[in-house]
Structure 1
Amino acid sequence: MRHLKLLQQVSEIARAGSIRQAAENLNITASAMNRKVHDLEEEIGTPLFERRARGVKLTAAGELFVHYARSQIADADRLSSQVEDLRGMRRGPVNIGCSQALALDFLPSQIGSFRKENPRLVFDVQVMDHNAAINALIDYDVDLALVYRATIRPAVRILKSAPQRLAAILRADHPLAQKQTLRLSDCVSYPLALPHPTLGGRQILDEVIARRDFQFQVMAESNSFEMLRGLVLHGNMISLQIDIGAPREGSGHGLVTRTIDERDLPTSDLVLCQLRGRVLPVAAASFADHLMAAL
């Protein structure tokens, strides 16, 4: 599979936007990489990259070729995974892009339970916003995307969806912790630590606020759910997160989760998806089955 090295080089040039940077990333000389690309362009009969003063940009033909290259690399990885599976060497890796709300509890627990029966498997988890995760799926950078409130494109196939409600995260000694379900109006008198406006749960909240006359005391914002939990614990604030990623009582961190009344906030879907038409590597397909059962 020597041709795969050239395909990987072209893919890396496209990703880096620079032949020199791609050569450094792959630990080869820029002159050798540039020569291989020139030879390939001559063989194809058209330029793949537009050379500029600061790097390169894909031509229309280059975009087609990079998509072909990445699909071939993915197929080779799948073949390698299947061969290893036949030999009892299911190592992976399983490449996943996930929303940050899944990164603290849900996805680590699922990886942990899956590895009990598949201890040789390796995981590569990239935490990113929903749009970046879908882009990574389309670019063959990840096998699976597990994201909340994603904009699904025709190239993406949904394997499983699960409606999610927003929940409030509070300190166990917070006055509102005595209630099992909260109304948004309950939270008006208390300081809030909210997710960044680019995140799906915050977008739902902002849409509701725009329609109703709530005057919240937003004292902090962050794109880190770990930071938001810290603000809840140490600043006695209230934060919001989708229910599946919220902390559970009895976990020893001093936080509790209370659902928001569905009359105040609508549900939105958490989706597990893959690239349409792509046959996943055995390890990724097995873990997808595991996640679908969990969802």
Structure 2
Amino acid sequence: MLNSPALEYFLEVVRTGSVNEASRRLLVAGSAISRQIGKLEQEIGVPLFERRPRGMVPSEAGALLAAYARRAALETDQVLAEIRGRGRLGATVRVASSQGAAQEFLPHAMAAFRKENPGTTFQLPVVSPSSATQLVQDGSVDLAVTFSLAPAPDVRVIHAQRAPIQAMVRSDHPLAQRDEIHLHELLPYPVALTEEGTTNRRLFDLCCSTEGISFEPLLVSSSSSALANFVKEANAVSLIGHITVHERLRNEGLKALTLLNPEMHLRTIQIQAMAGRQLPAVVDAFADHLIHRLSEIEV
């Protein structure tokens, strides 16, 4: 039978990629961890790790066992919470998010949810899109709200909604008289961009490569607030998702222009959960709340 200590040790080696690092974090001798993993491999009948010079990587069987162990640990915690009377609406919801959704959308959604469910508390780590998905995959959070360009393994997409990238300008900018533009029409104007590696920037770079054009941005930042403020102060143009700044667009004299280039329409915003996991009632309720709020945002 798969026992809890062995699975705990196994998961920590999966997370860290090293028996020594797992030993340090768990305060357990490395030999004990290796022995328990060896017993697991003997019990299952296949290797759970590939030993590589840079560390230990789960084999195909190891990845399957890790997914099972994560779900089992989360469901055990959930059952214990329900037995102790904490499984109803009135618990902590852990949501990982990329910068775009964390700036405005999620804080407003969380505050609104708490008005109906005042016992609920939240944790909101803000990370890269791929890291948000990874936190859901390994069970560190309940939900991820993040922009995505492609499917991810071991993830259930609860909701997906297109999240095109738009040009953001001041209401008195020369382009503000337009509703739709092509990317090359931004060339005469100062531009502010997100950092490389974001879904926004990856699609922008892809479009530039396809069109054979290039820009010299005056500002590069990971902060949508910094980009929006720079647009206001310098009368520049930035590329942003409507979900990221919809409150600013409504209140601060900014306008979003549709970009007609098809590359700028390839991403979605997703609400993700671990595949196969039964979510606690409060997390399910908050996911439904997010879906409703997303449906109210026009893009």
> TM class by shorter-chain length?
0.7 to 0.9
1 CA distance for matches of 2:147 and 2:130? 10
Q: Residues of 2 paired with 1:39 and 1:155: CA distance? A: 26
Alignment partner, residue 257 of structure 2: 260
State the shift of 1:21 in Å: 1.4
Query: Following the alignment from structure 1 to structure 2, what is the Cα–Cα distance between the partners of residues 287 and 43?
Result: 40
1:123 has 2:126 as partner: no
CA separation in 2, counterparts of 1:231 and 1:260? Answer: 17
Answer whether contact 1:195 1:221 (CA < 8 A) is retained.
yes
> What is the deviation of 1:230?
5.3
Give yes or no for contact 2:176–2:255 (8 Å, CA) kept in 1: no
Secondary structure class of the residue paired with 1:277 = coil
CA drift of 1:283 comes to 2.3
Once the two structures are superposed, what CA deviation does each residue of 1:239-271 show, in whole Å capped at 9, x if it has no partner?
A: 21100111534998xx54312135456544322
1:284 maps to: 283
Distance 1:4 1:279 in 2: 20
Letter in 2 for 1:19: V
Query: Which residue number in structure 1 is paired with residue 25 of structure 2?
Result: 25
Q: Give the counterpart of 2:173 among 172, 175, 198.
A: 175
Change (3 A) 1:110 1:270: same
- Output the TM-score relative to the length of structure 2: 0.77
Q: 1:164 and 2:158 equivalent?
A: no
Kindly state the Cα deviation for residue 289 of structure 1 after the two structures are TM-superposed.
Answer: 1.0
Partner of 1:158: helix, strand, or coil? Answer: strand
The range that moved more, 187-196 or 99-108, is 187-196
Per-residue displacement from partner, 1:141-172 (whole Å, max 9, x unpaired)? 43322222431247543322323343334467
Q: Secondary structure at the match of 2:125?
A: strand
How high is the sequence identity, in percent, across the aligned residues? 28
CA distance in 2, matches of 1:165, 1:58: 36
In 2, the alpha carbon distance for the partners of 1:163 and 1:49 equals 38
- How far residue 17 of structure 1 moved from its aligned partner, in angstroms, is 0.9
Structure 2, unpaired ranges of 5+: 295-299
* Matched position secondary structure for 2:103: coil
SS at match of 1:64: helix
State the number of aligned residues. Answer: 290
Q: Runs of 5+ in structure 1 lacking a partner?
A: none
Structure 1 pair 59/177, CA: closer, same or farther in 2 (3 Å)?
closer
Quick one: which amino acid aligns to residue 256 of structure 2? T
2:70/2:139 contact within 8 Å kept: yes
Q: CA deviation at 1:90?
A: 2.9
- Kept in 1, the 8 Å contact 2:96–2:144? The answer is yes
Kindly provide the amino acid, as one letter, of the partner of residue 205 in structure 1.
F
CA distance in 1, matches of 2:122, 2:291: 17
> Partner residue of 1:99?
98
Structure 2 counterpart of 1:79: 79
| Mapped contact 2:129–2:148 kept (Cα < 8 A) | yes
**2:217 is paired with a residue of what secondary structure?**
strand
State the 1:231 CA deviation.
4.2
Structure 2 partner of 1:58: 58
1:94-120 deviation per Cα after TM superposition (whole angstroms, max 9, x unaligned): 232323211111011111221233344
Q: Give yes or no for contact 2:194–2:223 (8 Å, CA) kept in 1.
A: yes
Check whether the contact 2:89–2:282 (CA below 8 A) recurs between aligned residues.
no
Structure 1 counterpart of 2:255, one-letter code: R
Higher deviation after alignment, 140-149 or 47-56: 47-56
What is the match of residue 297 of structure 2?
Answer: none
Residues 87 and 280 of structure 2 are in contact (CA less than 8 Å); yes or no, is this contact kept in structure 1? no
Structure-2 separation of matches of 1:65 and 1:215? 47
* Bigger helix share: 2
Residue type of the alignment partner of 1:8: E
Cross-structure match for 1:111: 110
Residues 225 and 84 of structure 1, relative CA distance in 2, 3 Å threshold: farther
Normalising by structure 1, we get a TM-score of 0.78
For 2:212 and 2:225, locate their aligned partners in 1 and report how far apart those are by CA, in whole Å.
29
